[in-house]
Amino acid sequence: MRVSTAQFYNQSGMRMSNQQSSVNDQMSNLSSGKRVETAKDDAMAYSTLAGYKNDLANIEKYQRNITQVENHNSLIDTSLANAEGIMNELKDLMIQANNGVYSADDLASIDQQASQSLQQILDIANTKDETGGYVFAGYQIDDAPFVLQTDNSVDYRGDNGVRELQIAKNVSMASNQSGEHVFQKVPNAIGDFSATYNTNNSGIGVERAVVADASVYDSTANPANFTFEFISATELTITDGASNVTSITGYTPGQTIAFNGIEVKLNGNPLPGDKFTLKPEQDISVFDNIKSAIDWIANKASAGDDPQVQVDFNQIIEQLSDSMNYLTSRRAESGINLQVIDRQKSNHLDTELYLSSGRSSIEDLDFAKAISVFEQSQVALQAAQQTFTQVQGLNLFNYIR
């Protein structure tokens, strides 16, 4: 078979080009320490490697989110722990103020301390995170959610939004709690209604007032508010917002008063003329509770022996206790979130180790083997080059001589 000069040059050039390309690829692998860098190196391995890299990239994203939600929940936990302490101090101030030995000046000093408690809780409710966003504002993170008014009431200007971040494929975690949920929704200590006392000569107090049977309770036919008036120690009338009157006879102290699906229990022994009103109020704001405590301390010196003073004291103290318990439950929610986050962090570390090992087994280079192959390829390339040089220089005159 004859081999033309052009064919010889083409074949030899292609062979040396392929060998040179192989040597270059091996040099690149040795330089990077990677066996598989492109699909050309190993198409099947490269496809598997892409899956490992994608899963590792997702874990990295989840870990960034975990850091953020962990920081925020830790901040919530710390903030609410401080709030619990302040509420407990306020409760102690109330108990001190109820001690009959304190003078008007002493009560004024206690009232000043109580007012500071309000400001401290307000500062906690307006806590900012590391980015400057308000933690308890819902989605409205750019504006302070709680604003103090001139009468010591506090308005909430945030919303109920809960911001969540994905920390695993099927796991999302809240990074905040809305201020309304934390500070505005403390369950009413006595139930579904709050009491306002018009006349209270005996010192009776509403211990419990609830909608016991929702199927019977009709707020349209018998609208609130409900006014209770004792005609005698054993007789009373209940007048609703539409002036409908329900009469109760044979009342005995401690008896549960039931009417229109509502149950009311009083403590104390009522006297003729005692009168109070119930209005619907299932939740009481922490700030309203604090304001009531401040007002009570401020008025304690001038209240004298009015039986209503002790009734209000008992009610406020009970609500303060419930407020602390409620803040504890909100804090517990952030604590549970932190436990979930810790478990998920551990899961990601285990998964990351497994994926990194799998990626390494496919991607990383066996240097001893690679160097041996590289040297063999170099020798083959050099041999091909020398052969080409020698052969292409031959012609007929070399054989004639």
Q: Could you identify the residue written with the tokens 């003078």?
A: 103
How many residues are present in the chain?
401
The CA distance from 380 to 20, in Å, is 10
The CA distance from 4 to 11, in Å, is 11
What are the pLDDT digits (tens) for 298-353? 988 787 778 999 999 999 999 999 999 999 999 999 999 999 999 999 988 888 78
pLDDT confidence of residue 49: 62
pLDDT confidence of residue 366: 45
Give 376's contacts (C-beta < 8 A, 6+ positions apart). Answer: none
What are the pLDDT digits (tens) for 248-290? 999 999 999 999 999 999 999 999 999 999 999 999 999 999 9
What are the pLDDT digits (tens) for 196-244? 999 999 999 999 999 999 999 999 999 999 999 999 999 999 999 999 9
Residue 111 CB neighbours (<10 A): 21
pTM score of the predicted model: 0.78
Q: Under a CB-based contact definition with an 8 Å cutoff, are residues 278 and 264 in contact?
A: yes
pLDDT confidence of residue 356: 64
What are the pLDDT digits (tens) for 166-195? 999 899 999 999 999 999 999 999 999 999
How is residue 188 annotated by DSSP? P
Residue 16 CB neighbours (<10 A): 16
Distance of CA 5 to CAs 1, 17, 380, 397, Å?
A: 13, 18, 23, 16
**Of 220, 301, 307, nearest to 270 (Cα)?**
307
pLDDT confidence of residue 367: 44
Residue 212, φ and ψ in degrees, nearest 5? -85, -30
Give 100's pLDDT tier (boundaries 50, 70, 90). Answer: confident
More confident residue, 152 or 389: 152
Tell me the CATH number for domain 55-187+317-350.
Answer: 1.20.1330.10
More confident residue, 58 or 189: 189
The winner for highest mean pLDDT among 96-100, 312-316, 345-349, 383-387 is 312-316
pLDDT confidence of residue 377: 54
Enumerate the CATH 1.20.1330.10 domain ranges in the chain, comma separated: 55-187+317-350
Q: Could you identify the residue written with the tokens 């994926």?
A: 355
| DSSP E strands, 65-156 | 146-148, 154-156
Enter the tokens of residue 374. 């590289």
In this predicted structure, the answer to whether residue 379 has a pLDDT above a threshold of 80 is no
In this predicted structure, the answer to whether residue 38 has a pLDDT above a threshold of 80 is no
Q: Under a CB-based contact definition with an 8 Å cutoff, are residues 143 and 134 in contact?
A: yes
Mean pLDDT of the chain: 84
